[in-house]
Amino acid sequence: MSASKLLLMDEPSMGLAPVMVDEVFRAIARIKQMGKTVLLVEQNAVLTLSIADKGYVLELGNIVLSGTGQELLHNPEVEKAYLGT
């Protein structure tokens, strides 16, 4: 695994205690800093978008929005529909 260039993760924080969720996302950020590509499917939009270089919002299997993590994190449509603001 150490020689891999791509890591695929599907809901790595599902069912974890909040302290463990934070640890998982710190580990993902460290992996990213090592130059690895991480493809992450995750319900926790705030944490995911805060570390994402690029993000996609899917509805019924279709891409409805895309942008950098920060762009999506501050997009009013995303905030209303997914971030509860």
Confidence of residue 2 (pLDDT cuts 50, 70, 90): low
What residues make up the domain containing 68? 6-82
Q: Given this model, what pLDDT does residue 21 score?
A: 95
Strands 37-41 and 62-67: unpaired
Strands 37-41 and 6-10: parallel
pLDDT tens figures, 24-83:
999 999 999 999 999 999 988 889 999 999 999 888 999 999 999 999 999 998 888 777
What pLDDT, on a 0 to 100 scale, did the predictor assign at position 38? Answer: 94
Q: Do residues 78 and 57 make contact, with C-beta atoms less than 8 angstroms apart?
A: yes
Number of domains present in the structure of the chain: 1
In a domain, 37, yes or no: yes
Model pLDDT, residue 85: 64
pTM of this prediction? Answer: 0.81
Say if 1 falls within a structural domain: no
Residue 56 pLDDT: 93
Q: Is the pLDDT of residue 1 over 80?
A: no
Hey, what are 61's tokens? 């299997």
CATH number of domain containing 41: 3.40.50.300
